[in-house]
């Protein structure tokens, strides 16, 4: 079966998106991002079967910031039944900015979803509760999901 993804396709996507560079703003309130150029643009994909595709600035190192929330959820899902996780963290949109704690206070400590700051922290805390494993060990287990 022919690959659905190819590097030329990614180059085409970058060409379409590149004109949008400069329309947003680098999150300079986050120290790790304050010195990053807003002109960087890259795509990297690693398929389940290990095929890798990349274009643009994909080899540039960067601070993963909120991507870590996905890794926290993966670590928790490897360790607990889904029902246990969703009892502690919701699946709904918050209607608030990702870094707001307002909804967390209103709902007495249960984050609306694992991708807002309060939910990401809750997911990591949940994953670290097991005495047999640590959160850092679980994060290492996520390497296949990262294409490493």
Asked if pLDDT for residue 147 goes beyond 70, the answer is: no
Judgement on whether residues 30 and 81 belong to the same structural domain of the protein: no
Judgement on whether residues 30 and 83 belong to the same structural domain of the protein: no
Judgement on whether residues 47 and 102 belong to the same structural domain of the protein: no
Q: What total of structural domains would you count in the chain? A: 2
- For residue 55, what are the β-bridge partners? 43
Judgement on whether residues 86 and 114 belong to the same structural domain of the protein: yes
For residue 62, tell me if it sits in a domain: no
Per-residue pLDDT at 12: 96
pTM above 0.85, yes or no: no
And the tokens for 106?
């209103």
For residue 98, tell me if it sits in a domain: yes
Judgement on whether residues 29 and 75 belong to the same structural domain of the protein: no
Q: How far is CA 129 from the centre of its chain?
A: 21
How many degrees, rounded to 5, is the angle at CA 106 between CA 99 and CA 124? 50
Interatomic CA distance for residues 99 and 9, integer angstroms: 34
At 20-63, the pLDDT tens digits run 999 988 888 888 888 888 999 999 999 888 899 999 999 999 88
At 87-145, the pLDDT tens digits run 888 888 888 887 787 877 787 878 888 888 877 766 556 555 554 444 444 444 556 55
Judgement on whether residues 19 and 48 belong to the same structural domain of the protein: yes
State which residues form the domain around 135. Answer: 67-146
């Amino acid at each position: 079966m022919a690959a659905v993804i190819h590097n030329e396709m990614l180059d085409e996507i970058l060409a379409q998106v590149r004109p949008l560079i400069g329309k947003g703003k680098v999150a300079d309130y986050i120290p790790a991002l304050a010195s990053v150029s807003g002109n960087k643009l890259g795509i990297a994909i690693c398929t389940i079967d290990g095929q890798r595709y990349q274009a643009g600035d994909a080899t540039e190192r960067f601070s993963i910031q909120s991507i870590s929330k996905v890794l926290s959820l993966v670590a928790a899902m490897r360790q607990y039944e889904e029902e246990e996780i969703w009892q502690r963290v919701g699946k709904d949109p918050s209607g608030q900015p990702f870094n707001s704690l307002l909804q967390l206070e209103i709902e007495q400590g249960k984050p609306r979803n694992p991708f807002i700051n309060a939910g990401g922290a809750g997911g990591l805390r949940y994953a670290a509760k097991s005495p047999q494993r640590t959160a850092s060990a679980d994060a290492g287990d996520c390497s296949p999901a990262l294409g490493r």
